[in-house]
Amino acid sequence: MNRSRLLSLPLFAALALAAPTSRAAPPDEAQLARGKAAFNTCAACHGADGKGLPTTPPMAPSLIGSKLATAPSEIPITIVLKGIQKLDAKFLGVMAPLGSVMTDDQIADALSYLRNSWGNKADAVTPAEVKAAREKFKDINAPIPRVGYEKKAAKLEADAKAASAPAPK
Ligand code: HEC
């Protein structure tokens, strides 16, 4: 009896870890409509069609099929809150930190919209998730290099996979 209780512990721990990145909910119509409006801030560089304004070099990368945009929500939320450190001249624009100019609702709506437009498909983002990320990363005050986001996204995806796999014997 004690033994079976012990065995179930890792499973509970794994479920608790997986919860914030669960891919259950698509956005509802109202959130998509609000998100389209909130995305105007992003469209200044990423274009209303999400493809990135076609300057030379492009103003910003396309968000269509973007792994970072459709990664577990913590990743795109943090990109908007903290920005991406500019390390090369691939793009004319800069992914500046927008955490102080957008509300939790605006960020959640814009991300839910872009994660479910132009063929993208990923779970909706909630204002509570944005609020939690603000708190969790409140001590980060400089833009994060792109590779940092890529590594974290790979780790979150691996963790989610491990959590949904059958418990090891
Ligand atoms: C002033 C221009 C500008 C604005 C405004 C802007 N971005 Fe960006 N964004 C960029 C640039 C430039 C990059 C690429 C940075 C790099 O990799 O060096 C980028 C990268 C990204 C990425 C990573 C995409 C990938 O696959 O590389 C995401 C996600 C993103 N932006 C989302 C947003 C969202 C959401 C908004 C609005 C809330 C927004 N951006 C507003 C310029 C902008």
- In a domain, residue 84? The reply is yes
Report the CATH number that the domain containing residue 28 is assigned in CATH: 1.10.760.10
- In a domain, residue 104? The reply is yes
Residue to mutate, 36, 40, 42, 68, ligand 1, most ligand atoms under 8 Å from C-beta: 42
- In a domain, residue 146? The reply is yes
Q: Which two tokens stand for residue 56?
A: 């030379």
Distance between CA atoms of residues 6 and 52, nearest Å: 51
pLDDT per position as a tens digit, 139-151: 999 999 999 999 9
Whether residue 54 is predicted with pLDDT greater than 50 in this model: the reply is yes
| CA 108 centroid distance within chain | 9
Task: Tell me, using a 6 A CB cutoff, whether residue 77 lines ligand 1.
Answer: no
Tell me the one-letter amino acid at 20.
P
Write down the pTM of the prediction: 0.87
Q: Three-class SS of residue 144? A: strand
- In a domain, residue 145? The reply is yes
pLDDT at 5: 52
**Bridge partners, 151 (sequence order):** none
pLDDT per position as a tens digit, 77-136: 999 999 999 999 999 999 999 999 999 999 999 999 999 999 999 999 999 999 999 999
Distance between CA atoms of residues 79 and 49, nearest Å: 19
Total count of domains within the chain? 1
| Closest protein CA for atom 9 of ligand 1 | 95
